[in-house]
Amino acid sequence: MAPRKRIAIMTSGGDSPGMNGVVRACVRMAIHMGCDALCVYEGYEGLVRGGDYIRQMEWHDVRGWLSEGGTLIGTARCMAFFERAGRLKAAKNMVLNGIDALIICGGDGSLTGADRFREEWPSLLQELVATGELKPAQVEPYQHLNLVGLVGSIDNDLSGTDATIGCYSALSRVCEMVDYIEATATSHSRAFVIEVMGRHCGWLALMGGVATGADSIFIPEKPKRDDWREEMRALVEKHRKSGKRKTIVIIAEGAQDRHGHKITPEMVKDLLADKNGLALDTRITTLGHVQRGGTAVAYDRMLATLQGVEAVRAVLEATPETKTSFIAITENKIARKPLMEAVQETKSIAKAIEAQEFEKAMTMRDTEFYDQYTSYMMTSAVQDQTMLLPEKERMKIGFINVGAPAGGMNAAMRAGVAYCMSRGHEAVAIHNGFAGFSRHHGDTPLGAVRPFNWLEVDGWASKGGSEIGTNRELPSESGMETIANLIEFYQFDALFLIGGFEAFHAISQLREARAQYPSLCIPMTLLPATISNNVPGTEYSLGSDTCLNELVNYCDKIKQSASATRRRVFVIETQGGRSGYVATLAGLGVGATAIYTPEEGISLDMLASDVRHLKEVFANDKGQSRAGRLILVNEKASKVYKAKLIADIIREEAHDRFEARDSIPGHVQQGGVPSPMDRCRAVRLAIKCIQHLEQFGKNAHNKAKKDPNSATVIGIKGAGVVFTPMSELEEMDTDWPNRRAKAAFWLDMKETADILGGRPKHHPPE
C-alpha cells in the first residue's frame, strides 16, 4: 500500500478573518481523503525552525475554529525566509516531516515567497544532499514541491480573484464603524474623514464608500483631479445646501494625488474645516487594526471552507507538470488559477500606480472593482450633467418592491434613482407593491405613485427593510386590468422590480398578460431580493448575505451559551421557504453537525443515523471543546419532523448523556442593517438593471413585445452577471410548486458541509 500522503497547512503574512476556517477545512478534508494533515505554526518562521512548529492535526483539533478570529496556528513575518539559507532549512524540515504538499494561506508577499521556494526546490534538495544534511534516499520521494496558495488578506489586493479571504469581514467592520460615526455626524452636523487600510489597493475604501453612501472617497488607483479641493468643496457645499447634515469622506491609507504625492486625512480635514470655506466641524477617525479584528463574516467562512477543500483537491490532483495554482473566486465560481501570473499582475498594478499610470491600474483590477467604482461615481455625483440624455430619450421608470423585505432593497432603490437622475430619467416610486398600486388608485390617484425625494433617498444606503413599502400580492390578485390601466395612466416606459419569488411570479404574470393588455409591453426587469435565495436565474439574491450573517451570529452565540454545559445539541430552525440554501450556507459557516433541507427531506433513517453519530461524538469528546453542537433544519424540510420534535427525539435517545434544545431565530433572519455585500451588490446590480431597461428607450412597446429580453431577471451565475429572459426561466428553470429554481447550485456545498461536519452518509427519503 502506498504511504499516506502528508499535507501541511500554513498561514502567513498579516492575519485575516477566515484563516481558521481555511485550516479547519484543509485539515478535515485532508483526513477525509485518507491523508495526514499537518499544521506549520507561525508561518515561514515555523517552517524554518521545524521541530514543534510542525504538528500533526486530528479531526477534533480544529473544532469550533470557524467562529474564531485571527489565525490560531499563528502567523509571522519571517526575515530568514527571504534568504536562501532560511529556505534551505525550510526544505530540510519539509523532507524530515515527510510533507508531500504545502497549502499556504497569505497575501501576495507570502505567495511570492511560496513561488520562489517552489522554483528553487530542486536546487535546495541538491544542496542538502551535497552538504550531507540529507541522504539521497531521504529526498528521493520529494523531487517536486507540490504547493497551492490561498489568498488570505483583508485588503482584497490580489489580482485574479474577486475576493480574498477576510476582505468582506474587514469591510463589515469598516461599515459598522462608519454607520456608528454617521449617527453622531448627523446629530452634530459634523464632517468625518475616516482612514481605512489599503496601501496599494483601494478596495476597502471604495466598497466602504459604496456601502455607506459616503460623500467622497480617496483610493490609490484613481486619484482625483488636480483641482480636487475645489471639486470637493463644491460637492460638499451642494450636499449641505440640499439639507444633508453629515459629511463622510473615506480615505485609503495609500491615497495620493495624480503626481504621486500622498493625500493625508489631515489635508482633507483642513479643507472641510477651513474657516473661509466650508467651515465644517471636522474630525478624523483612523480605523486601524479594528479592521482585522473579530470573527469572520458568513461569506468569508464560506470562501475559506470551499477554497480550503478545493486546495486539498488541487494538491492531490497535481502532477509534476501542473502549474502552481492558487484558488480564486470570480463572481460566484471557485477556480484554480496560475499563482505566479496573479502575483505578477498584482505587482504590476502597484507599479502602474507608482508610475502614475492610473487608467492602466484601474483596468487591471477585476471587473467588480471597476464596476463598483463607476457605480460609486454615479451614485455620489447625481447631478453630474455630463451623463444626461437628450430630452426625447429620457424615460419614466416605475420602481416597485414585491414580497418580503430583504437587506439591500433600499440600497438598490437609491442606486437606481441616482442613476436615473444622472441620465435625466424620471424615477417614480410605486408604494406597497401591486396591492398599494391598485388600491390607492381612485380616491387618491397619486397616493401610491410618487416621485422620489433625493434627500430622503440619499440616506437609504444602509437602511434595512423597504422604505417604499412592499407587499406579497401578485398582479393577478390586485387585478391585471387595473394594473395595465395604471401603467398606461402613468405612462411608464419601464418597470424595475425588486423582490423575491413573488416578484418573479409577478413579472411572469405581467409578461403573459401582454397579449391581452398592450400597455404591459414595456421593458421590465427583476433584481432578486430575498433571504431565501430561491429566485431562478441567479445564484445570489440581495438580502441572502444579511440573513446568513444574522444566522451565523445567532448560532455562534447559542453555541457559546453551551460552554457551561457543553454536552448540548441545538436544533435551529431556519427560514428559506422550500429552499435549503440558507440552512446549508449557515450550516457550512458554523460547522453544523447536520443540515436538513427541503430538497432532501428528512427520514427516520436519517434521524437515526444522525443520532447515532451524535452519540459517538459525545462518547469520544474528552472535553477538548467547550461548545455545543448545532443542527440546522429548514422550516419546510419536513411537515412532521420540526425543530422541536427533532430535539425531543435526540433528548430521548441520548439517555441523559447529552441534552438537546430547539431554537427558532425567526424574523431576526431578515436582518436589521443590511450587510456590506448586499449593499454593494445592490448598487452595482441596480445600475445594471436600469442600464438594461434604458437600452429599449422611451415608448418601446413594439420592440419590447417581440424581444424576450424585455422581461428579464438579473443574476450572478457562475463567473458572470447575466440577464436571463423570463420566457426561458419560466419554462426551463423554475420548479413552480416548490417556488424555487429547479437546479440547486449549492448542493455541492451541502456535501462539503456534511463532510466537514463529519456526518455519516445516509439515505435520503425515497
Site residues for ligand ATP, 146-165, by CB under 6 A, read 153, 155
Residues 227-256 binding ligand ATP (CB under 6 A) are none
Of 151 and 178, nearer to ligand ATP (C-beta) is 151
Q: Does 533 bind ligand ATP (CB under 6 A)?
A: no
Start-to-end CA distance of the chain, whole Å, equals 38
SS3 of 16, please? coil
C-alpha dist (Å) from residue 242 to 236, 292, 456:
10, 36, 10
Which residues lie closer than 8 Å to 178 by C-beta, 6 or more apart? 194, 208, 212, 214, 248, 250
- Which string of x and - marks every residue 627-656 that binds ligand ATP (by CB under 6 A)? ------------------------------
- Comparison of 88 and 381: residue with beta carbon closer to ligand ATP: 88
Q: How far is the CB of 412 from ligand ATP (least distance, A)?
A: 32
723 near ligand ATP, rule: CB under 6 A: no
Residue 408 to residue 543: CA distance in whole angstroms: 6
Residue 123 CB, shortest distance to ligand ATP, in Å, is 15
Residue of 593, 643, 632 lying closest to 616 (CA atoms): 593
Window 7-66: residues binding ligand ATP (CB under 6 A): 12-14, 44
Does 538 sit near ligand ATP (CB under 6 A)?
no
Report how far residue 278's alpha carbon sits from residue 263's, in angstroms, rounded to the nearest whole number: 19
189: number of Cβ within 10 Å: 13
- Of 346 and 544, which has the nearer Cβ to ligand ATP? 346
Q: Specify the residue, 105 or 548, whose C-beta has the smaller distance to ligand ATP.
A: 105
Q: Select 12 or 669, whichever has its Cβ closest to ligand ATP.
A: 12
Strands 325-330, 333-338: pairing is antiparallel
Nearest to 221 by CA among 186, 256, 181: 256
Cα separation, 238 vs 129, whole angstroms: 72
Among 11, 67, 71, 112, binds ligand ATP (CB under 6 A): 112
CB-based contacts of 766, cutoff 8 Å, min separation 6: none
CA distance 593 to 647: 13
Considering the complex, state which of residue 153 and residue 584 has its C-beta at the smaller distance from ligand ATP: 153
Q: What is the DSSP string of 194-221?
A: EEE--SS--HHHHHHHHHHT-SEEE-TT
User: Is 537 a residue that touches ligand ATP (CB under 6 A)?
Assistant: no
Let me know: does 37 contact 102? Beta carbons within 8 Å: no
Region near ligand ATP per CB under 6 A, out of 75-83, 89-97, 409-417, 650-658: 75-83
Give the three-state DSSP class for 18: coil
Selected binder of ligand ATP within 59, 82, 142, 358 (CB under 6 A): 82
For position 118 contacting ligand ATP by CB under 6 A, the verdict is no
Residue 626 is a binding residue for ligand ATP (CB under 6 A): no
> Of 59 and 82, which has the nearer Cβ to ligand ATP?
82
The one catalytic residue in 100, 108, 115, 155 is 155
Is 155 a catalytic site residue?
A: yes
**Least gap, CB of 338 to ligand ATP (angstroms):** 18
- Say how far apart CA 526 and CA 51 lie, in whole Å: 58
Under rule CB under 6 A, residue 142 binds ligand ATP? no
Residues 92-111 interacting with ligand ATP (rule: CB under 6 A): 106-110
Q: For ligand ATP, which stretch binds (CB under 6 A), given 76-84, 377-385, 604-612, 737-745?
A: 76-84
User: Could you give the residue numbers annotated as active site?
Assistant: 155
- Using CB under 6 A as the criterion, which residues of the chain lie in contact with ligand ATP when the complex forms? 12-14, 44, 77-78, 81-82, 106-110, 112-113, 116, 153, 155
